[in-house]
Amino acid sequence: MAPLNPDLAGRVFPPTNYLVGREKIREFARAVRSTNPLHHDVEASRAAGFADVVAPPTFSTVVLGPAVTQLMESPGTGIELHRVVHGSEKIEYRRPIVAGDDLSTTLTIVDVSERAGNSFLSTICEVCDETGALVATVTSSFLHRGDA
């Protein structure tokens, strides 16, 4: 196996977009077993000051999907999807994600390293709304398994 391309560090990928849907939030909330009314009930969400239903905190993984897919499928990186293992995730919110948000995610590769035949990749994703305001920052690390 060829190691990951060390020139990847510092690379910034073009923004990807994700339009947050009400039913997707409800579907995700059911999958993580959250019955909180803010994820399901529009009236309850409006009464709490939100425009529509509110996403569960880990819904960021859905929003980041297109950006991560773009990274994994990008030619010349050396990344092979079946070798990728999720190492860590840190999500920091400026405000909750709400149905109707038209979000754009910019993924930057922070670091690439090699150790004991494996590669390590860390990324930071900045999620902004349609006004350009920062909504969330997500820092992730991945192990790219070698042949050993």
**Residue 38 found at the interface with other proteins (CB under 8 A):** yes
Q: How far is the CB of 126 from other proteins (least distance, A)?
A: 15
Instruction: Indicate which single residue of 57, 73, 74, 130 sits in contact with other proteins (rule: CB under 8 A).
Output: 57
Q: Smaller CB distance to other proteins: residue 12 or 48?
A: 48
Q: Is 112 among the residues that bind other proteins (CB under 8 A)?
A: no
Question: What's the token pair of residue 87?
Answer: 């190492």
Query: Which of residues 18 and 112 has its CB atom nearest to other proteins in the complex?
Result: 18
Minimal distance, residue 120 CB to other proteins, in Å: 13
CB atoms within 10 A of CB 47: 11
Does 144 bind other proteins (CB under 8 A)? Our answer is: no
Beta strands in the chain (DSSP E): 16-19, 84-93, 102-115, 118-128, 134-144
Nearest to 107 by CA among 4, 7, 8, 16: 16
**Quick check: 148 binds other proteins (CB under 8 A)?**
no
Distances (CA, A) of 85 to 48, 49, 120, 122: 38, 38, 10, 12
- By CB under 8 A, what part of segment 59-98 binds other proteins? 61-62, 65, 81-82, 85-93, 95-96
Output the smallest distance, CB 111 to other proteins, in A: 16
Which residues make up the interface to other proteins (CB under 8 A)?
24, 27-28, 30-34, 36, 38-39, 48-50, 54, 56-58, 61-62, 65, 81-82, 85-93, 95-96, 139
